[in-house]
Homo-oligomer: A and B are copies of this chain.
Amino acid sequence: MNVRHLTFRLLQVYVVVVRSGSVSEAARQLHLTQPTVSQQLKRLSEAVGEPLLHMRRGRLLPTEAGRELYRASREVLGRFDDYRDYLEALRGGERGRFSIALVNTAQYVLPRLLGPYSQAFPDVDVTLHIGNRRQMLTRFERQDDDLYVFSHPPSLVHALAGRFLRNPLVVVAPQGHPLAKREAIAMNELLGERFLLREPGSATRMMFESWLQEHGLSLGPTLQMASNEAIRVGVAAGMGLAVLSEHVLPPEHPDIAILPVTDFPIESHWQFIVRRDRRLPHAAQGFLRFASGHLGECVQPRFLANELARLLADLDQ
């Protein structure tokens, strides 16, 4: 038997013939002419190298080899029906896998979206990669992931972006700081204080530094800490001031005060970035659809900035 010349079409035809016990009937069901079906059977029989059917009192019955071929054909066609279902689920975004690369700060808020999404799509595997801005840029360059979350995206020549959340950066001080009661503060009043800063390569630090540069200011003493958490705790403990994403603060923060510094908060938006030179998995697209539809339910209204519908529309072109 030479498997090489077997076609799925041939098996389909064969199955119909065996089921109906008649070449003519099969031809009718398949919208073919009878000679066509006869000929296909002949080809199939040649590929197998055995007679498959024989006439017995007016009905075509499979031979021994034919009976087993019928079984094999049913199984094989069934397997590919399953595969078609799988593809369907894949295309619908109900199934599959994708990965998201996040800048550190975004990890405080993305789970709000991913939690409900995973509930709704339990068959999708999501992989999260978290790091600072510089690390995420490297991943982006290497095309490691399907989705990226940045506040200030890199060049978008090969990518599309869609904002989804406000990311205001505020100046924080320990509760009870002398300036905390003031109505308005100018940044240069704070330059004498020690500032706790993230490492170079962090997005938050980058944004703060470019803000300072725009305003012609430069910091006094600083202290570097590699995580938002550490900084938040450090500020609460009176180690100094800091500029942090509001998302980093817990809903209640009795030991930390937000200072009303002029020209603050620094406004920025998180956005999903999608490379255009890499095929977006259906599941990732499904996630964006989900995010677009359910963002309102997942985050506080004051942070809402949902422009994902436009991103989705752009993707479809």
Q: How far is the CA of A64 from the CA of B88 in the complex (A)?
A: 12
B residues less than 8 Å from A86 (CB atoms): 65, 68
Contact B87 A65 (CB under 8 A): yes
Bound CA span A9–B97, Å: 29
Residues of chain B lying within 8 A (CB to CB) of residue A50: 87, 90-91
On whether the beta carbons of A87 and B4 are closer than 8 Å, the reply is no
Alpha-carbon separation in the docked complex, A97 to B68 (Å): 13
Query: Is A212 interfacial (CB 8 A cutoff)?
Result: no
Interface contact A96-B6, CB-CB below 8 Å: no
If A7-B8, A8-B6, A64-B97 touch, whether A76 touches B87 (CB-CB below 8 Å) is no
By a CB distance below 8 angstroms, the chain B residues around A87 are 1, 48-50, 65, 68
Question: What sequence of 0s and 1s flags, for each residue 298-317 of chain A, a beta carbon within 8 Å of any chain B beta carbon?
Answer: 00000000000000000000
Among listed A77-85, A158-166, A232-240, interface-contacting one: A77-85
Could you tell me the distance between the alpha carbons of A82 and B75 in the complex, rounded to whole angstroms? 12
- Tell me, yes or no, whether A157 is within 8 Å of chain B by CB: no
List A residues 31-52 near B (Cβ within 8 Å).
48-51
Give A91 to B91 CA distance when docked, in angstroms. Answer: 45
Q: A80-B76, A279-B54 are in contact. Are A6 and B7 (CB under 8 A)?
A: yes
Q: Assuming A4-B12, A50-B90, A279-B54, is B68 touching A83 (CB within 8 A)?
A: yes
Q: Which of B7, B63, B68 contacts A7 (CB 8 A)?
A: B7
Is B6 a contact partner of A64 (Cβ separation < 8 A)?
no
- Additional 10 contacts, C-beta under 8 A, given A5-B8, A75-B79: A1-B83, A1-B87, A3-B80, A3-B84, A49-B87, A64-B95, A65-B86, A65-B90, A72-B82, A76-B79
Which residues of A does B touch, CB under 8 Å?
A: 1, 3-9, 12, 48-51, 54, 63-65, 68-69, 72, 75-77, 79-80, 82-84, 86-87, 90-91, 95-97, 279, 281, 283
**Can you list 12 pairs linking A and B with CB atoms under 8 Å apart?**
A3-B9, A3-B84, A5-B8, A5-B9, A6-B7, A6-B8, A8-B8, A54-B279, A68-B90, A69-B83, A72-B82, A76-B79
